[in-house]
Structure 1
Amino acid sequence: MRGKTVLPAVAMTAVSMVLTLAVVVMWLGSAMPWLVALVVGLGIDGGWLATLAYERRLAAQGDHSTPVTVVGWSFGALATGVLIAHALTVDGSAGAWLAVAWLPLAAKCLWLVHGLWERTALTTTALDQIREIQQTARDDAAVARAWLRAEAGTEETRLDAVTAAGARVARVQSRTARRLSGAWAELETARTGKDTGKALTSVTAPVTPGVTPRWELPVWGPSEQVPALDAGPALTDDALDVVVDQIRLSQDPPLSYREMSARFRAAGHSASEVRLRASWKRVA
């Protein structure tokens, strides 16, 4: 992974240095001895290379120096300025030289990108742990989605079954109600008929001579309520406490609330559940 950022920066730096040296020698070689022009070109490239090496050393130590960075960018700007000046003074091929004048600054930018990558790079162990965490999160999410889909399907099936069963019960009840209604209608017609009593008497007279039966068929309608038994007078709180305490202590160890309540009801006493529990709390 490291080579993906450092190799382009190294290649761009080498091309920029060679191009700067060649331009300085060609441009200044006509005005001064070519050895002097070579020294000038090597000075620019050497200064740029020295500041770059120092920057890389500081970066490897986790440090940073603003003056060194400013000097490095100054050498890059100087090399770019030399290329631009040469392109503007060359006849016929100024465009071609201007097209490559940006290479020194591009090389500095690539080294800047490489430095940012180094400051944010992680070890293989950390990357493996991150991948495991992400995979675990994806697995948990997939399992949760599967559970939700399964529960939704189960609930849908249950609701469909309950709905179908309810519909079947409703249909059966409807058919039964229609049949009962028809049967009661027939019984009512037979009961209110003019000659029903005579016909039934003529049928039963040979079986029970001298007895005239009374034929009363069931009537479709509400039934009479059976009167409720009169309840005795309600116990006062003190009397209720005495009864509860006697029943609770009627056995050793004392009875639990449930056993006491059952014996209280079986003895014929009457009290609401709220009053009985309150009495139990008072005496217990």
Structure 2
Amino acid sequence: MARPTALPAVAVTAVSLVLTLAVVVMWLGAAMPWPVALVVGLGIDGGWLATLAYERRLAAQGDHSTAVTVVGWSFGLVATGVLVAHALTVEADTGAWLAVSWLPLAAKALWLVHGMWERTALTPSALGAIRGIQQDARDTAAVARARLRAEAVTEETRLTAVTVAGARVARVQARTAATLAGAWSTLEDARQGEGTGRALTSVTTPVTPGVTPGVTPRWELPVWGPVEPVSALALESAPALTDAQLDELVEEIRDSRTPPLSYREMATRFRTAGHAASEVRLRAAWKRVVA
């Protein structure tokens, strides 16, 4: 029996039975012999207890009887009616008797609550399993929240580092661009300046081929681009090759590897070997060999 709901129901039932029996004996004792009034009181209480015991037995078996429930509530209403009638007929303490006249119905309501408690009650093992499941869910949720917070902090730190590094790179690029812009502006001013051009032309005239008298050559800035290293000494000392010799060397260098070398690789190996030929002749020889 579940004590949280059974003990209040038992206590109110006992008080209600005693109160009903006392009221019946006092109220009907003046109109009939008291043993008869006692029998009437015991009959009301006995019928109520009998139906209550039957209801409890059916509830223990997981069953229910509407007829027994109706009879039990009928006995409760009879007991309540007796108490209310007695309270209304007495000349003194009417309010007090009315205040306790609801105890039979209260006892029936408490037994109804106790029955609902029993139908929904679980065993200690089931309650322990439920508590374990709830604790696991709380633990999982706490771990997930901690993981999310840690990932958020890590991502925030990474973004901050990337932002700072990007800002530093942008500042360096801006300074570099400003420096390059200033340098190119200075070079452009030097190229466009007439006095600077005449000074540079006068310096380079003795070593500048093709200078026509009376015509002032224009000074041009050099253009930088990708170049291939060429040995100056080899170019000066290498003898001029005929077209046949050039074709033979190009074919030999091209076919020295499998698959054959590309033109750029062949040209690099040709000049590294110390041979001399202009780019036009070398490319023409390449075309003849490939054809």
TM-score, structure 2 normalization: 0.70
Residue pairs, 1:1-284, within 5 angstroms = 2-200=2-200, 210-212=206-208, 215-218=219-222
Q: Return 5+ residue gaps in structure 1 as ranges.
A: 224-262, 269-284
Which of 123-132 and 185-194 deviates more?
185-194
Identity fraction in percent: 77
| Aligned CA distance change for structure 1 residues 101 and 151 (closer, same or farther; 3 Å) | same
Alignment correspondent of 2:254: none
Q: Is the 8 A contact 1:188 1:219 kept in 2?
A: no
1:23: Cα distance to partner?
0.4
Q: Separation in 1 of the partners of 2:46 and 2:25?
A: 15
Cα RMSD after superposing both structures: 2.7
Q: Which amino acid aligns with 1:216?
A: E
Q: Separation in 2 of the partners of 1:14 and 1:264?
A: 112
1:265: Cα distance to partner?
11
Q: Secondary structure at the match of 1:217?
A: coil
Q: Separation in 1 of the partners of 2:119 and 2:178?
A: 86
1:202: Cα distance to partner?
6.3
Alignment correspondent of 2:233: none
Q: Separation in 2 of the partners of 1:21 and 1:65?
A: 27
| Aligned CA distance change for structure 1 residues 173 and 265 (closer, same or farther; 3 Å) | farther
Q: Secondary structure at the match of 1:64?
A: coil
Q: Return 5+ residue gaps in structure 2 as ranges.
A: 210-216, 226-257, 264-291
Q: Separation in 2 of the partners of 1:64 and 1:162?
A: 73
Q: Which amino acid aligns with 1:217?
A: L
Q: Separation in 1 of the partners of 2:52 and 2:222?
A: 115
1:194: Cα distance to partner?
2.1
1:93: Cα distance to partner?
1.5
Q: Separation in 1 of the partners of 2:222 and 2:43?
A: 127
Q: Secondary structure at the match of 1:57?
A: helix
Q: Is the 8 A contact 2:190 2:197 kept in 1?
A: no
Q: Separation in 2 of the partners of 1:66 and 1:197?
A: 122
Q: Secondary structure at the match of 2:32?
A: coil
CA-to-aligned-CA distance 1:188-245 (integer Å, 9 cap, x gap): 111222221443466678xxxx42488532579xx9xxxxxxxxxxxxxxxxxxxxxx
CA-to-aligned-CA distance 1:143-200 (integer Å, 9 cap, x gap): 1222222222222222222222111111111111100010011111112222214434
Q: Is the 8 A contact 1:59 1:115 kept in 2?
A: yes
